[in-house]
Chains A and B, each alone.
Chain A
């Protein structure tokens, strides 16, 4: 049988390829392999150059560098309003935290930074102790340090907390709470017990099916109704609970991915040596499963960090809300104030998220060495 759609005669000959050796050929291959591609190179390069020039011109050349108030920033053709940033920077970091008590926030930043460094750099020993400190002791310590009212510290209520401090607290709470709850939910979803399994699945799917704004909205308007009459939970606490539940549901799915990646033999072998369920999970399965999903965990931390900006919608003065509220300050409101504020915000969020994604790639490469083809 002959197939009609199979060629019977040769296709027309194509011209031989141009030389592929030499600097010129290599350059052409990289920047203009075809005329259309060359055109794209020119258009995109021009566009990039224009964007870069616009940003540099706005942020550096025509920028206002020092001014007592908005006067200079309001001038026609003025670029970024840096004096606004200078005047507000401390408020963006600490919010309305009393100035003479800011050393407490600094101490929290310092302890967190050191502990995190110890956790993240693979060469630093004592990972177990460090993790214990970071996930158990540090959150409690942070709370008592910042709120005070004990150990001779002045009480500073949560409505005075703000700025980057609150952004980091929300992110940290999400991270610290989502790990244990997420692991339990993931185990629950894979459990053989129907009640546990269906409850875990329902929780995960419901929370993942609705937007974070809805979860935060629920936490802020519905949660007070669930409490015994007269108990009105703290505004920040409500947001933290919402964020923790939300990130736990996503973490559960990430961890479940890791659990599924572990071969069945590992489970069977640990049962054969007589380990109980929890020992099997703690000693055999989890160490392997969590290692597999470290990139996924870091990725969910990145989205969690970006999502912390949403707490501003329910009126928490996190970094985002703090910067935005500065735009209306009569002393600084000008045509460029908003743009400058957004520029700084973008830089800060970008720096945090980009650092995390780079770290995730680094750890992925480190963990992958065994399987490289």
Chain B
């Protein structure tokens, strides 16, 4: 074997040696890039702050949150807490936040129920049932939510009769174009017994469920837990009220002049918003549920059928619990979307948080402060929903070794 003469040693490329080698080191480059980004950002921030100060000076304004304690000076169509135009801007914003939370919670409940039903319907053997569900999803999902809110508003709620000709249900509930007016419960001294009884019933149900489960594991006999506990839970506050001597009266609405007096009213704007939000979000939830169920391996439902479970029971006891693990993460993001989409209330004039943010801004001209509050609160709501769904997800997760 002849020794190979080494080829002429090539000069290392200038990138790896020489006075500028450091410039090609990934580490140095990384730091330089970050420094550049940081400086760019700092310069941008400086320009923004400088410009804003100059602009505010020109508008004769100063930055500060003292407008929150000033009187709002505008009225609202609906509020969950006491509110008048003398209340502070801060209180007005709280009213909006509560309305947003109300819409979001109700919307999430309705959308979940509709979404699960439609998602399961889409997988039905029955061609008509599956077809109707597909039609619903394909039509509703492809139309902007804003348009749907207006359609519900125009189609269902505007044709309702005026206050004078309101649809009268047992002299208690009145349906008119001002919304649904119904009796308002008034609690008096001693009504605290009702929530106490409700809590007691919930605790008792929890123990009952544990006992029933233990019994089933030991003897194989199942106890109808839900059938017995749901009536108990529902009846317990009534029992509490009865024991306390019925400290509950209703404020019945009555026609007075051009509007209803007393009672409580669900304004049509809220109904339109709620209908549109739940029906629109339900299509996305239905698709999530369908995908989740399809993700459960076929063997699972076959095994359930082999054990003699009916299709309904197989779905409820075997397939859905496993599908939930796939469903929950996208479900969480749909809940977030619904909460954020509730800000479209501004289009129909339902006083939610976004609407009141806009109104307060119009009244006080504190654009920066209002946008800051809006962003912080919506971010907070998003984080809260995300945290709750994470907790729920970790509970439903497959327990692995």
Contact = CB atoms under 8 A, between A and B. Distances in A.
Contact of A209 (B138, B217, B220, B379): B379
Interface in B35-86: 37-38, 41, 47-48, 51-52, 54-56, 58
Interface stretch (B106-114, B121-129, B263-271): B121-129
A349 B144 contact: yes
Contacts of B30: 192-193
Contacts of A5: 216-220
A229 B55 contact: yes
A349 B33 CA distance: 43
B142 A211 contact: no
A339 B344 CA distance: 20
Nearest to B142: A353
B378 A211 contact: yes
B347 A313 contact: yes
Given A221-B361, A306-B145, A320-B144, A214 B55 contact: no
A65 to B, nearest CB: 22
A338 B159 CA distance: 12
A31 B368 contact: no
A312 B146 contact: yes
A217 B382 CA distance: 19
B37 A313 contact: no
B398 interface: no
A15 interface: no
Interface in A256-308: 302, 306-307
Contacts, number: 163
Contact of A214 (B132, B218, B354): B354
B126 A211 contact: no
A90 B128 CA distance: 40
B186 interface: no
Contacts of A29: 125
Interface stretch (A33-41, A140-148, A155-163): A33-41
Interface stretch (A75-83, A103-111, A194-202): A194-202
A137 to B, nearest CB: 28
Contacts of B370: 221
B144 A32 contact: no
A222 B368 contact: yes
Interface string A318-334: 00100010000000000
Contacts of A227: 51, 55
B284 to A, nearest CB: 10
Mostly, the A contact residues are: helix
A322 B198 CA distance: 53
Contacts of A302: 142
B343 A342 contact: no
B399 interface: no
Q: What band does the interface of chain B fall in when counting residues whose beta carbon is under 8 Å from A?
A: 35 or more
B355 to A, nearest CB: 10
B147 A309 contact: yes
A120 interface: no
B51 A229 contact: yes
B150 interface: yes
Interface in A198-240: 199, 206, 208-214, 217-218, 221-222, 224-229
A44 interface: yes
Interface in B348-379: 354, 357-358, 361, 367-368, 370-371, 374-375, 378-379
B126 A30 contact: yes
B308 interface: yes
Contacts of A313: 146, 346-347
B37 A199 contact: yes
A235 to B, nearest CB: 15
B147 A349 contact: yes
Nearest to B139: A350
B143 A353 contact: yes
Contacts of B47: 226
Nearest to B52: A225
A29 B143 CA distance: 34
A90 B176 CA distance: 37
Interface string A116-159: 00000000000000000000000000000000000000000000
Contacts of B354: 211, 213-214, 217
Contacts of B34: 193-196
A61 interface: no
Given A213-B354, A338-B154, A339-B154, A221 B219 contact: no
A119 to B, nearest CB: 21
Contacts of B358: 217
B55 A30 contact: no
Nearest to B366: A221
Contact of A349 (B143, B341, B368): B143
A124 to B, nearest CB: 26
Contacts of B308: 11, 14
A218 B142 CA distance: 27
B60 to A, nearest CB: 13
B375 A225 contact: no
A247 to B, nearest CB: 14
A94 B375 CA distance: 35
B128 A31 contact: yes
B255 to A, nearest CB: 26
B311 to A, nearest CB: 9
A345 interface: yes
B230 interface: no
Nearest to A210: B378
B142 A350 contact: yes
Contacts of A307: 144
A222 B340 CA distance: 20
A209 B129 contact: no
Contacts of B54: 228-229
A45 to B, nearest CB: 5
B4 to A, nearest CB: 25
Contacts of B347: 313
A309 B276 CA distance: 15
A99 interface: no
Nearest to B308: A11
A356 B175 CA distance: 41
27 contacts: A30-B126, A31-B127, A33-B125, A37-B125, A37-B129, A40-B126, A45-B128, A47-B132, A193-B33, A196-B37, A199-B41, A213-B344, A214-B343, A214-B357, A225-B55, A226-B48, A226-B51, A226-B52, A306-B143, A309-B144, A310-B344, A342-B150, A342-B154, A342-B155, A346-B143, A346-B147, A349-B142
User: Ordered nearest first, which 3 A-B pairs have the shortest CB separation?
Assistant: A353-B142, A211-B340, A211-B343
Given A228-B51, A310-B146, A342-B154, 17 more contacts: A4-B219, A14-B308, A31-B126, A40-B129, A41-B126, A41-B129, A44-B132, A47-B132, A199-B37, A211-B341, A211-B343, A218-B374, A228-B54, A229-B51, A229-B54, A324-B150, A354-B142
